[in-house]
Amino acid sequence: MNRLVVAEKAGLSPSTVSRALTDHPAIPLSTRDHVKKIAKALGYIPSLLGKGFYQKKSYRLGLVIPFQYDTRIRSIQGEYFSKTLYGLIRAATAKDFTVNVIADTGLSADELARLVLGHSVDGFVFLGVKIGDFRFDYLAKKKVPFVFIHHREDGKPFCHVDIDSAKGLRLILEHLKSKNVRSVAWVGGNKEYLNSQDREKIFPKLARELGFEFRGSWEGGFSRRGGQATARKILETRPLPDAIVCANDRSAFGVIEVVKAAGTRIPEEIRITAFDNLDEATLITPQLTTVENPLFEIGQMAGEKLLALIEGKESKSVSVEPRLIIRESA
């Protein structure tokens, strides 16, 4: 079955049928619906390759993630990646797009641009961008559509989707205040990432503003191992802070393990909170009080914004409202 048969049945030219099947705006909606009805009745399946060639689109979105392999794979943490990917897939499929995962092994700006200009993908969502990545001015110059997740470039019109860290940290501190916590310590993330630097700046200022005694910052590296190392240092201080606030759940898991092993009771002697609400937060004992970072929704929003950019529409950055999930640790 080919489009010539559809065209003959519809009483239209093959070129009109092709444009109708690809929703070309020059073809009236009634004609498009008529052609699609005939095509369906005849069992005709339009070629996506032909559709893409005609519209100069691949109908694929690229999710770019850092990827390095030496003795082990270094990339985005599994749940953080998977939930974001699923959200992006949901946005893509709603517009008949698919998603390609692109391993960023140090791709140059030109190599990335060629993926779009050569129609391998139609645009990018970037996940895991580090501070000092200078490829994006070039991509913008080449009119490559892209959206950041959990990153931004201040002073530049690049679209991003992020969690509102300031509101999230305020929710944590207001909860701790309701529990008569007076002193707090901070376990930060990896300073290569903007989210980490933002939270590092916001937390001490906000803690003092709300009347807490601030007991200092330690770098937890966004990792369980970093949280473990930091917890050992905090436990050497006296008096202990009433609460430890971690920049993400994974570092909090490490903190909880070490604090429990030292015989310090949670939350009776020290309260522990964090940021992300990973699934493991309900599996650790005590269950972790944490701010939900809605990764699925953020992935979906990023996809929707990228699709708008691909269609030539304006797409504004957005900060997602956080929500505090109160459990046993605080």
The residues, ordered by sequence, that sit 6+ positions from 100 with a Cβ below 8 Å of its Cβ are 60, 61, 62, 63, 120, 121
Distance CA 191, CA 83 (A): 23
Residue range 167-195, pLDDT digits in tens:
999 999 999 999 999 999 999 988 899 98
The pLDDT score that the predictor gives to residue 2 is: 67
Amino acid 75: pLDDT: 58
Q: What's the confidence (pLDDT) of residue 4?
A: 78
Q: Which residues contact 216 (CB under 8 A, 6 or more apart)?
A: 185, 186
Identify the CA nearest to 76 among candidates 36, 136, 129: 129
The answer to whether 305 and 150 have CB atoms below 8 angstroms apart is no
Distances (CA, A) of 87 to 84, 98, 121, 249, 275: 5, 12, 18, 20, 19
Q: Are 309 and 145 in contact (CB under 8 A)?
A: yes
Strand partners, 104: 66
* Helix, strand, coil share of the chain (percent; to 5): 45, 20, 35
**DSSP letter, residue 19:** H
pLDDT at 286: 97
What is the structure's pLDDT at 69? 75
- Answer yes or no: CATH 1.10.260.40 is held by domain 3-55: yes
Task: Please determine whether the domains at 3-55 and 165-292 fall in the same fold group of CATH.
Answer: no
Residue by residue, pLDDT tens for the chain (330 residues) are 566 787 788 888 878 877 787 777 888 888 888 888 888 887 776 655 555 555 567 789 999 998 877 666 665 677 888 899 999 999 999 998 999 999 998 899 999 999 998 889 999 999 999 999 999 999 999 999 999 999 999 999 999 999 999 999 999 999 999 999 999 999 998 889 998 999 999 999 999 999 999 999 998 888 999 999 999 999 999 899 999 999 999 999 999 999 999 999 999 999 999 999 999 999 999 999 999 999 999 999 999 999 999 999 989 999 999 999 999 999
CB-based contacts of 170: which residues, under 8 Å, 6+ apart? 206, 210
Sequence spans of domains, the chain: 3-55, 60-163+296-321, 165-292
What global pTM score does this model have? 0.82
CATH superfamily name and code, 165-292 = Response regulator (3.40.50.2300)
Identify the pLDDT of residue 48: 55
DSSP E strands, 53-154: 60-66, 68-69, 73-74, 98-104, 124-127, 146-149
pLDDT above 90: percentage of residues in the chain: 69
Instruction: Return the biggest CA–CA distance within the chain.
Output: 87
Position 154: which residue type?
D
Whether domain 60-163+296-321 has CATH 3.40.50.2300: the reply is yes
The answer to whether 306 and 123 have CB atoms below 8 angstroms apart is yes
Say which residues have a Cβ less than 8 Å from residue 254's Cβ, sequence separation at least 6. Answer: 220, 223, 224, 225, 226, 227, 228, 229, 230, 231
Supply the pLDDT for residue 163. Answer: 94
pLDDT of residue 232: 95
Two tokens at 144? 């490559």
Closest C-alpha to 329, from 262, 283, 279? 283
As a whole number of angstroms, the distance between CA 220 and CA 44 comes to 58
Residues in the chain: 330
Supply 143's token pair: 């009119």
pLDDT for 225 equals 94
pLDDT of residue 11: 87
